[in-house]
Amino acid sequence: MDGRLARLTHTEAVLNPQTPIVVTGGTGFLGRHVMAALAARGYARAAAIGSRDYDLTQSADSRRMLDERRPEVIVHLAAVVGGIGANRSHPGTFFYKNLMMGSLLMEHARHAGVKRFVSVGTICSYPKFTPVPFQESELWNGYPEETNAPYGLAKKMLLVQSQAYRQEFGFDAVNAMLVNLYGPGDSFDPETSHVIPALIRRCVEAAEADAESIDVWGTGKATREFLYVEDAAQGIVMALERLLDSEPVNLGAGREISIRDLVGEIARLCGFKGKLRWDASKPDGQPRRCLDTTRAKERLGWSATTPFEQGLERTIAWYRESRKRAGAASTRA
């Protein structure tokens, strides 16, 4: 039996419908979709945990979770995240909490006998001027874009840890790298939301108020790639089932769009017809972002399937419906 087949046999032996799985951050935006994807694949003993259950930045809580839940597999989604503004305001918090929750959890999981650990990383770990499309081999060829470097580097250290632990301890840790996500259930809080939900909220509110204009950060020249959350969840579950080593694998849509075009598309779909005023004094962030997803296709048999406009339409519809529900609840109260 060759090494690859032996590792595949090991992975199949670990995973079955009764395998105890813990999804950290499983109560959040991405986590809820990962839990749904796991259920659809027949995993009957997957448990979602959130920050209300355990503070994974604390060693004692990390150990307590493992003692109480006794998982054989961990999917680590938990993260402290936000847009450019939040990253600029809280770089120390983003670095410390993301590093500690992941590093402590992996260390205690190793000692607890966890059989498989899926670490979900971020496109923010790539160098600022990575050639487009980003290939996994470029991860160490420069420093990340400054506004989100602390967050990106903290998540990147989990890649280092997983590779080091596999080499020294034989710990089965794998790594998936995500682009910016969007979709129903995202956070639309203006203090913490990423670009798509932030723009949807502003365009919907401006359209309803018949506003003449909205202000947008940056020049609009930067490009981004966005992955529909259900596609991301499917990719993570396939990484759980199929990855055989600790090398990172990009999960992306393979579609690059400028922020200027993105804002125009969201404004159109939201029915906002006013002017877009660009504030060039605010940062653009990383100049370009677009992933090469060849490795995901080859090793996972995975690729994104949701058309971008369709995903935006679903997200806008969900946001409008959630506002209606919130308004109705407020009226009843």
Q: Which residues are catalytic?
A: 151
Strand partners, 256: 225
Among 25, 56, 326, 44, smallest CA distance to 201 is for 326
Report the DSSP pairing between strands 256-258 and 223-228: antiparallel
Q: Is the peptide bond before 133 cis (omega within 30 degrees of 0)?
A: yes
Helix axes 91-112, 149-169, angle to 10 degrees: 20
Residue the block writes with tokens 């506002």: 323
The whole-angstrom distance between residue 34's C-alpha and the CA centroid of its chain comes to 11
Among 137, 139, 96, 108, smallest CA distance to 121 is for 139
How many alpha carbons lie under 13 Å from residue 197 in its C-beta half-sphere?
23
Contacts of 306 (CB under 8 A, 6+ apart): 228, 230, 231
Among 217, 290, 223, 216, smallest CA distance to 252 is for 290
Please compute Rg for the chain using Cα positions.
20
Q: What CA dihedral angle connects 163, 166, 172 and 177, to 10 degrees?
A: 0
Query: Using an 8 Å Cβ cutoff, are 311 and 232 in contact?
Result: no
Distance CA 264, CA 312 (A): 12
